[in-house]
Amino acid sequence: MDALNNFWSVYSNLVLTLGTNALLALSIWLTLSCGMLAMANAAFMGIGAYTSAILTMTYGVPFPVAIAAGMAAPALTAFVIGKPTLRLSGVYLAMATLAFGEVVRIVVLNAESLTGGALGLNGIPPITQWWHVALALVLVLLGLWRLRRSKVGRAFEAIKEDETAAGLMGIDVQAHKMLAFVLGGAIAGLAGVLNAHQTFFIGPNEFGFDRGVDILTMTVLGGINGLTGPVLGGVILTILPEALRAFGDFRLVVNGVILVLIVLFLPKGIWDPARFRQWFGRKGAAA
Amino acid sequence: MSTTPLLHLDGVSRHFGGLKVLQDVNLEVPQGGIFGLIGPNGAGKTTVFNLTTGLLPTTGGTIRFEGRDLAGVKPHEITRGGIARTFQNIRIFKEMSLLENVMVGMHAKLRYGGLGLLASSGLFRSEERRARDRARELLSWVKLDHKADDAADNLSYGDQRKLELARALATEPKLLLLDEPVAGMNSSEKTDLMHEIRNISGRGYTIFMIEHDMRFVMGLCEHIAVLNFGRIIARGGPDQIRNDPQVIEAYLGREEDEATNEGAAA
Amino acid sequence: MLEQQLVNALSLGCVYALFALGFTLIFGVLGVINLSHGAVFMVGAYAAVQAMARFDLPLWAGLLFAFVFCGLLGLLIDFLVLRPLRARNAPHLIPMIATIGVAIILNNGIQGIFGAENVRFPAGVVSGESLDLAGIHLTALELGIILLSFVLMGVLMVALKRTQLGRALRAIAESPKAAYLLGINVEGLFFLTSFAAAALGGLAGVLIGLYSNAVFPLMGQPMLHKGIAVIILGGMGDIRGAMLGGLFLGFAEVLSVAYIGSTMRDAVAFGLLFLVLLVRPKGLFGSMQERKV
């Protein structure tokens, strides 16, 4: 029991971060599964973080309410910008959402009275427990797993492969894209809330371009063909910098090298059912 | 048999800038039966389908389905209204199994919503089962049920076309638009498909097909219209069309042109 | 005074344009969003500083060195990372992520070697002279930047529009497969483009390093963000658009700092970008479709 306590006191932050990163990776996976590369999830995370932090810090709102608000705010934002933005496709969508993310970051930077500006928000009550994160992850995974096996999941897959054909199957393509985008935003917001109440400080620079790129990397690396991939990617990319501490100043360099190597040698990400099928010789469609 | 045509194209035209792809096309597809649209390459036949399914707006004229004007109706709504189609260049979902492909077609007909999905309610489960069963049944119509769980990217060309057909049927259409259903098939595959299409017609679906293969069309279709350079030049039953001088000219003229070009190139 | 601001904006805009040019070349010709371009830009600045400090070289030699060094770096990146991915026909997300890895390597590598603090160019490399024209104050540096940029951009435009090489590049941008079938040495031109784009980026790095008198490992990141904004504003893959977009951004930034306030400066770029994308996704000048693979 002592050993467990020791482990926890040293690594608890890491484990919690693992959980929130997995959530973030799943949030971007959701939009990817619908064929959209939407890079606004870091911004949605930030909106969730700030909304909930302001509520708990200034108004002493109970945690569950803060969580709900932290999910609703980004979801609403996603809905509003989704309408014009989701018409775009491919790279344009990616760039538009990236741009939006940067705009959010800068607005936060400037709304000093509300968000503390560049200095961020300090002293957020550290109320996230490990079971919050675990529960959130389990619920999200369950929900997404269900989604995949339903007509909505099939619709997403169809849209990803061929939007026109999907539309002609009676699928309302725009509505489904919006659903993926808004849900993804809500999940990212959830991660933001949990993260903010664990690190007791948040600043605008944590939710910008670099974070967005991080999240994307986790997902693509982990494998986009299922739910395991993003979670795995989140785990690996959280642990990797820690595991590489031995390399001292150059540990991030090694991080980058590993990233490049994985991209070069594991095309569909680490968790790739199709490759496993090849290795184990089973026939059949992707799960 | 009702006298209102199922599908009515009334003075339909479609221009792309200066290019007039379709001009004043009048077409009536009656309920039940098999209707064929033929014409030389580039006549504009696929454009007729693209207009009917809402992928493109008309530049003029109206398209009416069951008496309702289709102007401004989105493609997925048109499908839900009862028109399904297959594509000339086959657009199946390669990363899904055959079964899943067909199940996608049932999307609009599955009656559970988000809550039901999350709670795994009885409705969700029974609807999913219904979808699976129906999908297998449709695959059996086109004799692909033994491959139901295989990945769709491994299919032969002919099988892919049949899968597209089964998938279109899954949307429970009243009108089935088939765009060159036998293109690229060998003659035994064509004969097979001819039988299958006849069976499907026998089940009550109205079929509207675009085809090149004259024998195929003449063998299947009761009503035929001929499109040339964006205009309808003839209409009627197979015998009428076969003997229509303008039709012969349209096809023969094209053949002559091709022969001349070949001669010049040689 | 407005004219002064405009002149400041011009030199800033020129550097943005040079950076965006490299970025756009890679996107247009290779079809890759190269997120390591910012790091290469930064390496250019360090390369010049090192060369000039250690070997007591004049500015033009430093520039040349940075140009060649970064060009080779770009070539190396292409050869080691992008080429294998091309051979595999990877979907375009994948090379982008690989370039992220490269950026991490470069950014942290440089930081590990040289430390995170600001490095400066050796004193006196740029002549302190300045020009005063009609009340506008133009330093030698600004003048140099403007001239150099315009010369480079001019050469590039001419090369693209009027030479066989330029036509070949444009053909590849349209469709690599078709270009290949026309007998164009696609792979060779990919290498050339990687070299040229990185070289331009490195050059831009030196110029910004001089302009702001600050060279530090993360200087490439904000540039990258702006580069993305520029190429979208100008139309992705469109060279003229990249140049004009860069100039436009320079003006927008300087004017907004002067009249609105410096913290909103970055918001200007991205806000504009967002709006443009909504109204005209192909950018102000883009006519380019997403390339046919």
State the DSSP H helix or E strand holding residue C213, giving kind and residue range, or none if neither.
none
Higher pLDDT, A76 or C87: A76
Query: Is residue A232 one of the residues assigned to a domain?
Result: no
Which is nearest to A95 in space by CA: C24, C88, C135? C24
Q: Quick check: A170 and B107 CB within 8 A? A: yes
Q: Does residue A270 lie within any of the structural domains?
A: no
- Asked if residue A203 lies in contact with residue A45, where contact means CB atoms within 8 angstroms, the answer is no
- Of B103, B149, B152, Cβ closest to residue A154: B103
Sheet holding B60-65, edge to edge: B19-29, B7-16, B60-65, B68-69
**In one letter, which amino acid is A69?**
A
pLDDT at C221 over 50: yes
- Comparing CB atoms, the residue among B93, B149, B150 nearest residue A161 is B93
In chain A, which residues have their Cβ closer than 8 Å to the Cβ of C269? 102
Mean pLDDT for the stretch of residues B59-85: 92
pLDDT at residue number A143 = 92
**Domain contains A18:** yes
Instruction: Say if the Cβ atoms of B150 and A164 lie within 8 Å.
Output: no
**Inter-chain residue contact A286 with B114, CB threshold 8 Å:** no
Tell which of A39, A88, A102, A268 to mutate to test the C interface (max C CBs under 10 Å). Answer: A102
Q: Would you state the CATH architecture of domain B1-92+173-195+203-237?
A: 3-Layer(aba) Sandwich (3.40)
Q: Say if A26 falls within a structural domain.
A: yes
Q: Do chains A and B touch (3 or more CB pairs under 8 A)?
A: yes
- Where does the pLDDT of residue B53 fall: very low under 50, low under 70, confident under 90, or very high at 90 and above? very high
| Cα B152 from Cα B181, distance rounded (Å) | 18
pLDDT for res B116: 66
Q: Would you state the pLDDT for residue A208?
A: 79
Q: Which residues of B touch A143 (CB under 8 A)?
A: 118
Size of interface A-B (CB pairs under 8 A): 98
Q: What is the mean pLDDT of residues C54-63?
A: 87
User: Which tens digit of pLDDT belongs to each residue from C22-52?
Assistant: 988 898 888 888 999 999 999 999 999 999 8
Within-domain flag for A167: yes
Interchain CB distance below 8 Å, A285 and B96 = yes
Whole-number pLDDT of residue C261: 67
Residue C47 Cα, gap to closest chain A Cα (Å): 19
Distance in angstroms (rounded) separating the CA atoms of residues B164 and B185: 14
pLDDT tens, residue by residue, B109-163: 888 876 666 666 778 888 899 999 999 999 999 889 898 888 888 888 888 999 9
The pLDDT score that the predictor gives to residue C228 is 79
Per-residue pLDDT reduced to its tens digit, C156-200: 888 888 888 888 888 888 888 888 888 888 889 999 999 999 999
Q: Calculate the CA B210 to chain-centre distance.
A: 7
Give CA separation, B142 vs A102, B93, B148, B183, B193, in Å.
52, 17, 11, 17, 8
Structural domain harbouring A65 = 2-208
Q: Cα distance from A245 to chain C (closest Cα, Å)?
A: 14
User: Domain total for chain A?
Assistant: 1
Percent of chain B past pLDDT 70, that is, above it, reads 91
| Count of Cβ atoms closer than 10 Å to residue A64 Cβ | 9
- Chain A residues in contact with B113 (beta carbon < 8 A): none
ipTM of the prediction? 0.85
Taking alpha carbons only, the member of B103, B97, B100, B92 closest to residue B164 is: B92
Supply the pLDDT for residue A44.
Answer: 95
Tokens of B131: 């979808």
Distance CA B172, CA B205 (A): 9
Collapsing DSSP states into helix, strand and coil, what is residue B65? strand
pLDDT band for position B42 (50/70/90)? Answer: confident
Query: Which of A33, A34, A151 would best serve as a mutation to test chain B binding (most B beta carbons within 10 A)?
Result: A151
Determine the Cα–Cα distance for residues A11 and B205; give it in Å rounded to an integer.
65
| Mean of pLDDT values over C207-217 | 89
Predicted local distance difference test score (pLDDT) of residue B170 = 94
C238-279: pLDDT as tens digits = 778 888 888 888 888 887 777 776 666 666 777 777 777 777
Q: Residue A214 — very low, low, confident or very high, per pLDDT cuts 50/70/90?
A: confident
**pLDDT-based confidence at residue B260 (cuts at 50, 70, 90):** low
Phi first, then psi, for residue A86 (nearest 5°) are -75, -10
Cβ-proximal residues to B206 (8 Å cutoff; 6+ apart), any chain: B6, B7, B29, B30, B31, B32, B33, B35, B174, B175, B176
Cα gap A103→A107, rounded to integer Å: 6
Chains adjacent to C (≥3 CB pairs closer than 8 angstroms): A
Confidence of residue B262 (pLDDT cuts 50, 70, 90): low
Q: For residue C285, what is the DSSP state?
A: T
Q: Taking the CA atoms of A52, A56, A57 and A59 in sequence, report the sign of the dihedral they define.
A: positive
Query: Could you report the per-residue pLDDT of A35-72, keeping only the tens digit for each?
Result: 888 889 999 999 999 999 989 888 888 889 999 999 99
Q: Do the domain assignments include residue A239?
A: no
CB A141 within 8 A of CB A227: yes
Average pLDDT, chain A: 84
Q: Which ranges in chain B are annotated with CATH 3.40.50.300? A: 1-92+173-195+203-237
DSSP state string for C121-177? PPTTSS---EEEETTEEEEHHHHHHHHHHHHHHHHHHHHHHHSHHHHHHHHHHH-HH
- Select the highest-mean-pLDDT range: B40-49, B168-177, B223-232, C122-131: B168-177
What is the phi/psi pair of residue B253, to 5°? -55, -45
Q: Decide: C269 and C226 in contact? Cβ < 8 Å.
A: yes
The Cβ of residue B167 has, within 10 Å, a number of other Cβ atoms equal to 30
Decide if pLDDT at B259 tops 60: no
The first and second tokens of residue B15, run together, are 């221009």
Query: Which range, of A187-191, A200-204, A268-272, averages the lowest pLDDT?
Result: A268-272
Q: Does A86 touch chain C (CB under 8 A)?
A: no
- Laid out side by side, the sheet with B206-210 consists of B83-85, B175-179, B206-210, B34-38, B223-228, B231-236
Please determine, for residue B255, whether its predicted confidence score (pLDDT) is greater than 60: no
Q: pLDDT tens for residues A127-146?
A: 878 888 999 999 999 999 98
